[in-house]
Amino acid sequence: MSHLRLALLTTTAILAFAANSLLCREALAGGHIDAATFTLVRLIAGAVMLALLLLGKFRRFTMGGSWIAASSLFGYAAAFSFAYISLSAGTGALILFGAVQSTMISYGLWTGERLSSQKVFGASLAFAGLVWLMLPGIEAPPLFAALTMFAAGVFWGLYSLLGKQAIEPTIATAGNFIRAIPFAIILFWLMADAEHTSLLGLVYAVASGALASGLGYALWYAVLPALPATNAATIQLSVPVLAALGGVLFLDEQLTLRFILASILVLGGITLFIKSRHQSTK
């Protein structure tokens, strides 16, 4: 893969991840659709897109993934939707990303990974930034929504850990999207509100599932083998920043001082941790 093609595909994947926050935020906070319907449509659209990509690549569809991974995927998607009813795009993305990394770091500790002083400092800095962001105050996000997004990040972290051993990630992701649909149907049956679902809301949900999720994941898995592990992890740090900028440009959101400082703590702390891990494996 040429450097230009790699850069273009990587940029597109990262933009898709950031767009997911913008689409979800606008659809739900704008009252165009309810969270349960958004979750169901997003998962169906993602499953269809991934299945079509696999059919185009392999000329057949193979069911990958597992029910455990699918339940984690559903937990992430549902919590993500409900959280964005009240959170700004940037704040939601920052909490989500911080929670994902916290989950991965916690798993490493649980499995016996040894932490250097730089890793400890980086992890502590990131965690302090998340805690400070969610502490009560005039610029603090709604606590319940913030905790719900943190739960979404934990689910996504678990999903990532479960999928680490997948030989073909796109096949596993497609299977997990399909398996997650029955869970979303139950949620839809229990909590859907048809009165708050418009055509525009459905369009946002389809775009989130098919483009920002399905196509975004496929592109990311395509470029991942060509990216050094540290570069891949560091590149993902741009997602909360891009989501915040997108919120300002397209959703008329405001950047608060608390968010800016918390972003520096969280993303800076994670960068230190990633760099330290890379240096220790050389």
Q: Could you tell me the end-to-end alpha-carbon distance of the chain, in angstroms, rounded to an integer?
A: 25
d(CA 77, CA 21) in angstroms, rounded, equals 11
Provide the pLDDT for residue 80.
97
Residue with tokens 């369009």: 203
Check residue 229 and give its pLDDT.
67
Could you give the CA distance from residue 213 to residue 35 in angstroms, rounded to a whole number? Answer: 16
Q: What is the pLDDT of residue 138?
A: 66
From 257, 237, 241, 260, select the one nearest 249 (Cα to Cα).
241
Its pTM stands at 0.90
pLDDT along the chain (282 residues), means of 10: 86 95 96 96 97 85 89 97 95 92 86 83 90 80 94 94 82 94 97 88 98 94 81 83 94 91 91 72 53
Which pLDDT does position 41 carry in this prediction?
A: 98
Tokens of 28: 């739900």
CA dihedral defined by 7, 15, 128, 77, rounded to 10 degrees? Answer: -130
Q: Which residues make Cβ contacts (< 8 Å) with residue 261, sequence separation at least 6?
A: 129, 132
Instruction: Tell me the two tokens of residue 64.
Output: 């990958």
Give Cα separations from 122 to 37, 101, 125, 271 (angstroms).
38, 11, 5, 7
pLDDT of residue 119: 84
* pLDDT at position 113: 78
What pLDDT is attached to residue 102? 87
